[in-house]
Structure 1
């Protein structure tokens, strides 16, 4: 009988990596500049954007902006396999426009630091509004626990309706396929070292620029088939002494 670890290493539908992609900021830094900042500071910082669907489970008008961010913001990752990272880019009608700049981290390393899978709640029948409202009562009774839990919440199916909403949200949402992981903002910055990173991402014509930074890991273009960079991926596997295959 095989042990579970040996089975999971060769499951092609699972990824041993967590990918963090950057985006252009409105009136601010470009996705490339954001990646450069991450590489220079060797840490990921949480944006001010409120991303948790738990924010629709309560009235937030009495909260300060800092309180809202502690409860509903997070650093985001996806468990998408390397050869499918391109599917996260240029998605119509999405609130976050990710660009082909970022890093693929070892999932085990980030999990050890508290990064967790998103809690996807089924609202296909539109019966989860009360559940979200109940979870948000933690803000009144267990604020510290709420800061850890609420940022991880997401819904699929019908959008959650805020209490006493004058303009109910319409339409459905479903991002389960992203296999998102998050670190709540209240956990602080997420520092990393070269051995936490498997590979970096950037457009093909900028690979030499990022490789020349001598960061301890190399870069590939996520919009191209990963086999294009087989040698780099094999070298990365050897550098980190990984036991599983990394070339799709």
Structure 2
């Protein structure tokens, strides 16, 4: 690669933008005449036109992302899921991805151009400086390819009777000369003096699961697979405060080792993710107007650090947990004698939300705390043997107060119905 050219880079970017309910099929895929029944769009199709439904709505709902969530929240969910979800790129209710395979989109746009482009997009779908950058060679090996801008002949979409009809949400006619397996790469382009449709400046790449290797709808990167792996990824955000938030988020994923639905994480990649903020770039001795990812000083870019735990901390934590269990048992026993087994059945545990802490690392290492990739660390104390969630909660509240004071870290009561 010619590193003297500022318009070339060894990195390919996946932009992250805020959610727009108008373009989200989860928001407009309802049968309004049948009690708002949810009718999902297929995540993909086979090459024979059979629909594939891979998105589990309960998993999407479990994370709790708002329909109009900010770009930063979307970025954190992508990291949590470990995949870049493929889609049909709906615009005004119509898909813009052709063929049977939904796609994830990337751009070869240089970093400095990304910054400038994000400033100039002012509509609801504006591209903000949030996203992920992948090494070009590794992304190519994973199966991503540059898009095809336009056709040599006319743009003709398939109609009933055409061999391509129904193989996807939207397909080109078989007379167009582009194979069904490459159709996901096609971008409608018409560079004319009138009615110009030109997206070539985006230098887009796309990825699709052409071989049906995965049982989830997206390109894995943090999600561990035998088929695809990346040595490093750059996460870019706006502020230094967001950098710390992402560092804590990644550490929590590392502690969890899987999603809440047992999708394994690539722990080595989590340790090698770099986080860059626009705010921090202004303090570096680089020209932000021409900077490329290739120019960034890697040794100065934050990434997850493993936390060492001293013998003294291990001893302190073990003793504190034993005393917290005694307090929880004693208080709950007292309340049981006072009120009986009242109220609903459920659980009362202790939680903390601090990832980057020697105390939390000790709790994880000792297998006392457990995390499920949602930011919290749950401690299951041996409590008083009663079903009442109210009785258990009394003990959990007092135990949390004790741990907060003893370990100099915030702990809380956490209840859940059975």
Shorter-chain TM-score bucket reads: 0.5 to 0.7
Question: Is there any run of 5+ residues in structure 1 with no aligned partner, and where?
Answer: 1-6, 57-67, 160-169, 239-248
More helix by share: 1
Residue of structure 1 equivalent to 2:208: 184
CA contact (8 A) 1:204 1:221 kept: yes
Deviations 1:16-53 (A, max 9, x none): 111011111124133112111111222111134247xx
TM-score (norm 2): 0.40
**How many residue pairs get matched?**
204
- Higher relative CO (Cα under 8 Å, sequence separation at least 6) belongs to 1
Residue of structure 2 equivalent to 1:209: 245
**Which of residues 289, 298, 320 in structure 2 aligns to 1:235?**
298
Residue of structure 2 equivalent to 1:80: 109
**Which of residues 16, 21, 46 in structure 2 aligns to 1:22?**
16
CA distance in 2, matches of 1:84, 1:92: 12
Q: Work out whether 1:139 is the aligned partner of 2:202.
A: no
CA distance in 2, matches of 1:191, 1:104: 14
CA contact (8 A) 1:122 1:157 kept: no
Taking a change above 3 Å as real, the CA distance of residues 234 and 153 of structure 1, as seen in their structure-2 partners, is same
TM-score (norm 1): 0.63
- Alpha-carbon distance, 1:83 to partner: 2.1
CA contact (8 A) 1:83 1:222 kept: no
Larger radius of gyration: 2
Residue of structure 2 equivalent to 1:244: none
Q: Work out whether 1:45 is the aligned partner of 2:104.
A: no
CA contact (8 A) 2:100 2:167 kept: no
- Alpha-carbon distance, 1:101 to partner: 1.4
More strand by share: 1
Taking a change above 3 Å as real, the CA distance of residues 89 and 122 of structure 1, as seen in their structure-2 partners, is farther
* Structure 1 residue runs of 4 or more that deviate by more than 6 Å after TM superposition: 141-145
| SS across alignment from 1:100 | coil
CA RMSD in angstroms comes to: 4.3
CA distance in 2, matches of 1:78, 1:87: 14
| SS across alignment from 1:15 | coil
